[in-house]
């Protein structure tokens, strides 16, 4: 399947919301096409290059489909869109079009089934509840309680101030339980560094 890509300095996760300001012609055209066809576009994390101007030189091979949920004209005159992360994908081949829009052939990645939270996840769930009280998180409407392991893992990985490489490690895992275990491990290491 061919998917237009929007390389950003962020990692989008399924079920998570992201607000974007669109001002470059290539992305205005892409958003218009997506809205007409009821399709999404792919968000990939930039490894090398910039968000603006020439197409990013290198980006992560794993990304997340973004579905447009809302749009508005912003006070600064730019188009504001809110997208929700949907399916994960792996880029098999990418090419840059004449207008500098990157289009890729992608393979959709299968997620493990959603499973209920376990007692062992209580601390991670409490951490998400604490993060949900932050004004920026509340503004995105991502403060609601989560119902399962995948939702908890995706939201925590998205909201925590982890390095892009760490977020990509989490996004690449198919099983929600493995994502939660990796997040717990990353948090334990971070706490060790802070107390060390």
For Cα atoms 190, 7, 76, give the angle at the middle one, nearest 5 degrees. 100
Residue 148 domain-assigned? yes
Q: Which pLDDT band, with edges at 50, 70 and 90, does 54 fall under? A: low
Give the pLDDT mean for 53-58: 63
Examine the domain organization and report whether 130 and 152 are in the same domain: yes
Q: How many structural domains is the chain composed of?
A: 2
Query: Which residue has better confidence, 56 or 187?
Result: 187
pLDDT at 6 over 60: yes
Res 50: pLDDT: 58
**pLDDT tier for residue 51 given thresholds of 50, 70 and 90:** low
Q: What is the pLDDT of residue 53?
A: 57
What is the extent of the structural domain holding 51? Answer: 2-108
Same domain as 102, residue 17:
yes
Question: Alpha-carbon distance 189 to 162, whole Å?
Answer: 12
Q: What is the pLDDT of residues 84-115, one digit of tens each?
A: 999 999 999 999 999 989 999 999 999 888 99
- The answer on 79 and 149 residing in a single domain is no
Q: Tell me what pLDDT residue 143 has.
A: 73
Give domain status of residue 113, yes or no: no
Task: Clarify whether residues 18 and 100 are in a common domain.
Answer: yes
pLDDT (0 to 100) of residue 107? 97
Q: Show which of 56, 82, 108 is a domain's final residue.
A: 108
Task: Indicate if 7 and 84 belong to the same structural domain.
Answer: yes
Both 7 and 104 in one domain: the answer is yes
In a domain, 85, yes or no: yes
Q: Cα–Cα distance between 160 and 89 in angstroms, integer?
A: 22
Q: Are 131 and 104 members of one domain?
A: no
The residue ranking higher by pLDDT, 194 or 127, is 127
Please report, for the domain that includes residue 47, its CATH number. Answer: 2.30.130.40
pTM of the model: 0.92
Q: Report d(CA 120, CA 139) in Å as an integer.
A: 29
pLDDT of residue 18: 96
Residue-averaged pLDDT of the chain: 91
Instruction: Give me the mean pLDDT over the 151-176 stretch.
Output: 95
Per DSSP, 185 falls in state H
| Cα 103-108-112 angle, rounded to 5 deg | 150
Do residues 19 and 55 share a domain? yes
Same domain, yes or no: 93 and 155: no
What's the pLDDT score for residue 52?
55
Residue 91 and residue 124 in one domain: no
């Amino acid at each position: 399947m061919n998917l237009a890509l929007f390389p950003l300095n962020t990692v989008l996760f399924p079920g998570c919301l992201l607000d974007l300001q669109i001002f470059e012609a290539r992305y205005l055209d892409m958003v218009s096409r997506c809205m007409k066809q009821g399709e999404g576009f792919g968000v990939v994390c930039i490894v090398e290059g910039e968000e603006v101007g020439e197409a990013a030189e290198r980006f992560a091979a794993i990304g997340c489909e973004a579905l447009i949920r809302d749009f508005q004209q912003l006070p600064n005159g730019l188009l504001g869109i809110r997208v929700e992360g949907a399916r994960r994908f792996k880029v098999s081949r990418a090419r840059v079009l004449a207008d500098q829009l990157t289009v890729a052939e992608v393979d959709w990645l299968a997620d493990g089934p959603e499973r209920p939270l376990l007692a062992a996840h209580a601390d991670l769930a409490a951490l998400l509840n604490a993060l949900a009280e932050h004004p920026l998180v509340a503004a995105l409407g991502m403060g609601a309680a989560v119902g399962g392991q995948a939702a908890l893992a995706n939201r925590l990985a998205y909201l925590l101030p982890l390095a892009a490489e760490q977020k990509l490690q989490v996004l690449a895992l198919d099983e929600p339980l493995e994502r939660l275990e990796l997040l717990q491990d990353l948090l334990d290491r971070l706490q060790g560094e802070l107390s060390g």
